[in-house]
Copies of this chain bind each other. A is one copy, B any other.
Amino acid sequence: MPSPPPEWVKALTPASPQGTDLLKQERAQSNVEVDKLAEFLHTKAFLEKQQRFVELLSSEKVFDKSQMHSQGRSERIQRALAKGKRLQQLKEKYNWSTEDFHFASEMIGEPTPYGLHASMFLVTLREQCTPEQKKLFLEPAEKYQIIGCYAQTELGHGSNVRGLETTATWNPEDKTFTIHSPSLTASKWWIGSLGRTANHAVVMAQLFIAGKNYGPHPFIVQIRDLETHQPLENIYVGDIGPKFGYNTMDNGFLLFNNVKIPHINMLARFSRVDKETNKYVRPASPSLVFGTMTWVRSNIVLQAGSVLARGVTIATRYCAVRRQFQDRDAKADAGETQVLNYKMVQIRLLPLLAAMYALHFTGRGMMRLYQENQNKRAAAEAEQDKRGAAPEALRAGSDLLADLHATSCGLKALASTTAGEGLEICRRACGGHGYSSYSGIGPYYSDYLPTLTWEGDNYMLTQQVARYLLKSARAVLAGKGTGNDTSQILQAYLARRDKGASFDILEVDSDIVAAFAWRTAHLTFEALKHRDLEKRSWNSLLVDFWRLSTAHSQYLVVKNFYEAVSSPDLAAKLGPETTKIMHDLFRLYALHTLEREAAEFFSSGAVTVRQITLTRTNAVMKLLDEIRPHAVRLVDAWKIPDWQLDSSLGRYDGDVYPDLFNRASQNPVNDLVFDPYPWNEAVLKNAPKAKL
């Protein structure tokens, strides 16, 4: 620990005005109802729970965050394991639900090596085990008597699951499978919790029976000894090394040299090998897995709002505290201006403030649709079981699920890109201090970035959206539209295409939504023309598909946001003034997006060049003025606890500079004493040597 500052340093305070006073002023100048809004966003129960968790977790020394950004990987990952263990102990002690546990895991600020055991491993076992397998694997896994991971991607194979090389060959003679890695690129790679922690893995491998490949299937394989924790024979396993973020997770590699596992180790709820006939038995219900992915993606959309909210909370508060330069038009004796007053800062931050609300409401909307669909589906399946035939309702459910699946792909891509890139915009808006780890943005951004790649790479996913829209357009043209929202916007466009659009985006909010729908429909029929009439190759259209998916997803966000701010529920709960600000945020998000994508909006004929110019020079600028006074309260309403933000810049009380100074003076590099001269050989000899 570095020596404490001398008395004359302790006596120093920041130059006036103080950050605490500036934030008080900010809060005084707005009438946004922070508590009501917070409850509307998160529910009262959630906010109370959050408070309890902060108190509990921050009182435990093991969760101290003060030095984690200075440590090397070996130290960090060991400390993170200790955190993971303590979380598990607390879960038992306080009888937390799974949701509580994930909430606590999120609060501690970094992933732990238990992360993939607690999520994908347990989820997979729950979903894909037979009752017998649940006893054998899931029960000890839930008690952390076995620790697992989910081993799908390989060194040479990411998104394309069908390209996996690992094989599982059925041996009819002794009723076992042989798990094998035929090449170096077959090595499992990136597998969370595998590198040092897991003793079991769910391994996705190509199932071979009598020489025929039945595609990838899940197998559970023990990989380390339960006592010594050493790898078992013919297994080579380890950690894949340092990363851009996520360094407290032991993402691992794994190779098998003809490892035999018993028949029971193939997860058999959906498909299996019959032990007697040695035949493959087909999957019972593949769409259930499809449904899980949809849920995971919808959840990413919902989370993206909160992820972005962390960055926006930090940057907004700090830009209200930070002052830099005088306004050029101000009087000579005016002090420096709050950075948040500069239009160049507002145009970067306030649309992101709007976006965090937009994504939150969109995520909520999707979760609701997903739940409704699950309920309908469950009812239809019960019906089917009773009657023994597939009723109409089940097919309609499939249609809805297909729509939800496509929607979730596009929105996952848009939402996680918006959140990830938004965090970096927030970091830069904090100026030089944004680069400090004590800003709280950089480390969080680094840990978040994989979300843009996992659960479907954001660029790859856009093809699924395009495929769905093309299919819907073909159905509409053939008079077979399903009546869902996608069909409706395509039909509306066709009906009015000849007359042209005349949306009043500057005055009528619902016309903004209609303009986004028009653009989607226009791009869909353009893409359809290229593909079906001009017979252009799929590859040559990928860029168009990406644009189309982005356009469609933006439409969905705008629509969801509009519906949320127009709902009687919102107006009733928030009162007229806060409701009005919510409408402003909707308009800012929508018009700012429209203006950034201006070219597509006019080339589709959705709006005129004059409207775009007015949007840019008048409407957006006016909205910035309207929202500016409420910015701090609008981030306050997200109620992210200081302990979770872990940011000098984003502190609720605005006491930025003393906090930054205290953290800096305590940092462990200040324990070092350098010999600063290059010529002293003795010192050079004592300097740490590279290992190699």
Contacts and interface: CB of A to CB of B under 8 A. Distances in A.
Interface stretch (A35-43, A279-287, A427-435): A427-435
A432 B436 CA distance: 26
A324 B229 contact: no
Interface string A310-351: 000000000000111101110000001000011110010000
Contacts of A322: 156
Contacts of A443: 244
A506 interface: no
B537 A329 contact: yes
Nearest to A88: B678
Nearest to A190: B432
Given A14-B184, A603-B613, A244 B442 contact: yes
A612 B621 contact: no
A484 interface: no
Interface stretch (A195-203, A381-389, A512-520, A560-568): A195-203
Interface in A447-463: 449-450, 452-454, 457, 459
A446 to B, nearest CB: 8
Contact of A343 (B198, B250, B543): B543
Interface string A85-97: 1101100000000
Nearest to A429: B459
A454 B184 CA distance: 44
Interface stretch (A122-130, A362-370, A491-499, A659-667): A659-667
Given A181-B12, A664-B239, A688 B113 contact: no
Contacts of A325: 159-160, 163
Contacts of A431: 158-159, 453, 457
A63 B690 CA distance: 8
Interface in A73-124: 73-79, 81-82, 84-86, 88-89, 113-114
B343 A14 contact: no
Copies of this chain, complex-wide, total 2
B156 A669 contact: no
A529 to B, nearest CB: 11
A443 to B, nearest CB: 8
A438 B241 contact: yes
Contact of A328 (B77, B342, B538, B684): B538
B669 A239 contact: yes
A75 to B, nearest CB: 6
Given A72-B72, A437-B243, A678 B144 contact: yes
A385 B602 CA distance: 61
Interface string A43-84: 000000000000000000111101101111111111101101
Nearest to A257: B8
A15 interface: yes
B664 A253 contact: yes
Interface string A659-692: 0110111011111111111110000100111111
Contacts of A475: none
Nearest to A417: B428
Contact of A435 (B64, B449, B688): B449
B79 A690 contact: yes
A153 to B, nearest CB: 7
Nearest to A246: B435
A155 interface: yes
A1 interface: yes
Interface string A11-27: 01111000000000000
B687 A145 contact: no
A571 interface: no
Given A244-B442, A657-B155, A74 B184 contact: no
Given A163-B336, A196-B674, A435-B453, 7 more contacts: A2-B238, A8-B234, A66-B692, A73-B668, A240-B667, A241-B436, A244-B427
Q: Please name the 5 residue pairs, one residue from A and one from B, whose CB atoms are nearest each other, closest first.
A: A72-B72, A64-B690, A598-B599, A244-B442, A241-B667
9 contacts: A15-B156, A62-B689, A113-B674, A145-B677, A184-B658, A190-B432, A342-B539, A431-B457, A432-B454
